[in-house]
Amino acid sequence: MREYVFCKLGQEKEFIARAQALNYTEIVLIFSEKDVFSVNIKLKKKLGELSLVNVLFGVLAETENKQFNKALFDEILQLGTSKSLVSKHITCLFDNENEEEKDFIHQRRSGLNHIVLTLCAEKKIKVLFSYAALQEANDLRRAQVLGRIKLNLSLCKKYGVEYSFASFTSKKEKIRDAKDVAAFLRLLE
């Protein structure tokens, strides 16, 4: 199973050791656009050789249509909302369900719709759901986010979009065991 975490330079080994202890086969270290120039292929190879976990690099695309080194970054993530258009360089959309606006009486503002999901299916873009968003929310907000996640899961299935669940945390202590996350995803499906 693959885990996604937000990483700052110098924290890579801690996250990799934690992912290895929690039964993950792959870990994607997501760097911000500011850290992109400090990350290099030598670091990626060095980290890959040190662990049993397959280490991948990702970048959080904060500006639209910015191109990143495909040899270095395996995943290019974008915050997903209903207002965002899917760029051709993006490989993953995440955090779709965290819109602050209230739901309507008869429908949810889940962050995804048929247009975005059709584009994701055509371009083979994954939709990722955040376990941290559920952990950090209060009871009322957690119920709302959980309902939005369930709706987005059913939409992803309907349109044939690949999806996954991950921690999306910046603290190594908050990474959940791979079996826990897989069981939670099965529960939601």
Question: To which H or E segment does residue 56 belong?
Answer: strand 54-60
pLDDT of residue 105: 58
pLDDT of residue 25: 92
Residues 6+ apart with CB under 8 A from 178: 1, 3, 22, 23, 24, 25
Q: Which pair of structure tokens corresponds to residue 95?
A: 């955090």
Topology adopted by domain 2-188: TIM Barrel (3.20.20)
- The DSSP bridge partners found for residue 56 are 28
pLDDT of residue 28: 92
Q: How far apart are CA 163 and CA 129, in angstroms?
A: 8
Q: In tens digits, what is the pLDDT along the chain, a chain of 189 residues?
A: 899 999 888 888 899 999 999 989 999 999 888 887 778 877 877 787 777 888 888 888 877 667 777 778 888 888 876 455 666 678 888 887 776 676 665 567 677 888 888 988 998 999 999 888 888 888 888 888 888 889 889 999 999 999 999 988 999 898 988 888 888 888 888
pLDDT of residue 70: 76
pLDDT of residue 85: 62
What pTM value is reported for the model? 0.86
